[in-house]
Amino acid sequence: MDEQIMRGRVYGADHDDPDPGPRPGHIYVELVGGPLDGLLLDVTGWSARQLREDAVLTTEIGRYGPGGHTTYGPRAGDPKRRDWQGDTP
């Protein structure tokens, strides 16, 4: 795993978690752009189909506030990154 990913914060980690970083034995992709830019998404155990599809993630900091969602799709040619597609209610 590259150096930058090993230092990142994982999507879904509690804000008061003393160690919000990646866990050994897990597979992560970096979220690029949008409200979750720079966070890591744990894709451990995802099927090949799930890895090819967009991921719809809950977030309070997107365009629609609490209860809103944001979508990240796989980046062509770079399986370690997912690009922001937009926010939905």
- Residue 18 phi, psi dihedral angles, 5° rounding: -70, -15
Q: What is the pTM of this model?
A: 0.88
Identity of residue 88:
T
Give the rounded distance of the alpha carbon of 11 from its chain centre. Answer: 6
Q: In 10 A of CB 57, how many CB atoms? A: 20
Which pLDDT does position 15 carry in this prediction?
78
Which pLDDT does position 5 carry in this prediction?
53
Per-residue pLDDT of the chain (89 residues; tens, 9 = 90+): 555 555 689 998 887 888 889 999 999 999 999 999 999 999 999 999 999 999 999 999 899 999 999 999 999 999 999 999 999 99
Alpha-carbon distance of 70 to 56, in angstroms, equals: 6
